[in-house]
Every structure is written in C-alpha cells, then in structure tokens.
Amino acid sequence: MSKLLPTVAAVALALGASVSPAAALDDADQPKIEIGLLKLDNDITLRRKVVRNRQSKSVVLLLHGFPETLHTWEAVTAALAGDYEVHAFDWPGYGFSSRPPTDKFSYAPSDYARVLKEYVDKAGIDRSKLIIYATDIGALPALLAALDEPGIARDIIVSDFAPLDRPQYMHERLRDLKAPATSEQARLQFYQNGNRAIENSFKGGIPSEAKFAIPASFREDMLTGWDQGALTSGDAFFHYYSHFTRDENYLEANLARLTTPVKVIWGEKDIYITKDMGIEFAAKAKADFTLLSGIGHYAHLQNPSRVAAEIRAALR
C-alpha cells in the first residue's frame, strides 16, 4: 500500500504552475512525500507519512492526539519540510493503523511508548538527530519511552496533555472518562460516535479566539478511519484512559530518571487541560515552559507556524 507521492515540482506542473528549468533539474533535491504502511510486529502495522529531504539537517517525529490522525500535521509538515526529514504516524486505534484486540494490546500509554520505540527502530531514524513533538495522548508515551531509553531522541517537546494525576486541571468529560465509576457512561455519551466526538473536540466550548477551521480532507480522514475494524478510535481512547492514572503515577514517581531534554509548551486557552498542569509538570521536570497566548488545545492546527517555530528553535 505504500506509495510515493509527487515531488513539489511535479505537483506544481500538474496544477499548471510554471517551473523553471533550474527547478526541474533540481527535482531530485526537492522534499518527497511517502504515505504507506510500516509493520512493527505481528499485531501492529502503522500508517505513516514521511517527508524525505536530501538536505535534511535533523529528523522531526510528530505524534498526534485524540481524535486525530497523521493528517493533523499537514501545515506543520509543510513549514518544516524544506529543511528537515519529517515523520508522522497514526497511533494504533486511529486512522488506518492496526486495531488489535485488547488481550494483545491494551492501548495504555506505556504500550504506545513501546510502539514509539519500535517505530524509531524500524524507520531507521538516527536518534542523535531526532526531535519529537508530541501533543495530547502522544505526549505521555514519549516521556515514558524516554524513561526507558534516555537516548530515544535528542529533544522532546510536549504540549497540552496530562502527565500528572491532577483531575482538577482537566475538563469534566476527561475527568469522567478517567474515573472508573463514570468512564463507561462517558464513553457512550461522548466518545462512541465519531461525528459527535470530532465536533465536541474541535468546537465544543472553545473560546472564539482559539477556534480554527478543520480542513475537509482531514475531517474525512478521521471519520473514515474511526471504525476501521471492531474497535473504534473512541474505544482506543477509552482503553488509554483506563490505564492513564497508573502510567501518570509511574512517570511522576520516576521523573528524576528523565534525562532527555524536555520542553513544555501550552495553549493559554486550553479548555481540556489547563495551563496549571503544564506549569506544575515543567517545574517538577525542571523543563522550560512556554505559554502560547490566545492558543487553545490544538496549537498545531490553530497556529501551525508557531509550532513549527518552536520545533526549529529546539533544533537550533
């Protein structure tokens, strides 16, 4: 299923844009996009996107959150592709990656950490040149992976997630999903229907200054991938949360072992996990903290150029 998409110059020609002879001659040096499948083991195959660049200075791996797929990173990737090799994949349970039964894969943050480590190995990424940018459900696995393997990346940037067991910093729907007594009800009410989950995530209760448009192609990708198999993306999110507190507590108890450089950035207007979570975690982890003024939970969609700038700054 892997396919090589056209180069930048070829796309310009297809759209009727003019391409200079010099640009055509330099086609081999243009970033090239691959979207396909990468098998990690007998249970997990990931859909991934790679932008390869012969002029690449470093490698960036982008890890999405709920209810997203790898296509959430289109604008960020476009801003980075001229200088870096960029990777993104669908987490198991999302998009077109595997949906193994829970007796083989629990969808816990710690399981996602294992997926991350295996992806870096299978993709042949030079860890000394790698920066990971992880948001929402992707961020705790990145930190857990760094606890097990301090050399997993050169730097890790984490954004708008719940690294600590602090329900008071979380939206009511997430608190309900986190608590065993209310988790099943929350799953049925908010996370079982793809249309409703997507609508609630990107529009529900978000202040006007933090709203943004969802590209139609991205929305369609999330909806099409929602129930690829017996387990929906909402189910994957539910199972992730059923193990969430355990893995948060493990991270907090072992923060002293976290030696990979970490930076924390947070949307000032995040209604799902407030900036207080980021401030406390950054202090405990002795990590730099940046508050993004006027930005909500999905900084990479609301202001992709700012996110790309944060990644570039870390790579410098």
Q: How confident is the model over 219-257, as pLDDT tens digits?
A: 999 999 999 888 999 999 999 999 999 999 999 999 999
Q: Quick one: what percent of the chain has pLDDT higher than 70?
A: 91
H or E element in which residue 94 lies: none
| 15 and 109 housed in the same domain | no
Instruction: Report the number of distinct structural domains present in the chain.
Output: 2
Structure-block tokens of residue 28: 């081999």
**Residue 127 and residue 109 in one domain:** yes
Phi, psi of 134 (to 5 degrees): -130, 135
HSE-up of residue 185 (Cα within 13 Å, Cβ side): 8
Q: Do residues 141 and 17 share a domain?
A: no
pLDDT tens per residue, range 157-188? 999 999 999 999 999 999 999 999 999 999 99
Query: ∠299-246-115 over CA atoms, to 5°?
Result: 60
Whether residues 19 and 152 share a domain: the answer is: no
Tell me: do 138 and 107 sit in the same domain: yes
Handedness of CA 86, 31, 121, 154 (dihedral sign): negative
Same structural domain for residues 212 and 144?
A: yes
Q: Domain containing 41 — which CATH number?
A: 3.40.50.1820
Question: What are 102-138's pLDDT values in tens digits?
Answer: 999 999 999 999 999 999 999 999 999 999 999 999 9
Domain shared by 98 and 46, yes or no: yes
pLDDT in tens, 192-215: 999 999 999 999 899 999 999 999
Mean confidence (pLDDT) of the chain: 91
Q: What are the beta bridge partners of residue 131?
A: 60, 155
Q: Do 8 and 66 have their domain in common?
A: no
| Domain that residue 174 falls in | 37-315
Residues 61 and 134 in one domain: yes
CA-closest candidate to residue 131, choices 84, 174, 68, 65: 84
Question: If you average pLDDT over residues 285-301, what whole number do you get?
Answer: 97
Task: Give the separation between CA 45 and CA 199, rounded to whole angstroms.
Answer: 28
Local confidence band at 23 (pLDDT 50, 70, 90 cut-offs): very low
Say whether pLDDT at 11 is over 60: no
The pair of structure tokens assigned to 48 is: 């991934």
How far apart (Å, rounded) are the C-alpha atoms in residues 286 and 306? 23
| Same domain, residue pair 187 and 310 | yes
3-state DSSP call for residue 296?
coil
One domain, residues 199 and 157: yes
Q: Whole-prediction pTM value?
A: 0.91
Identify whether residues 3 and 82 lie together within a single domain. Answer: no
**Per-residue pLDDT at 80:** 96
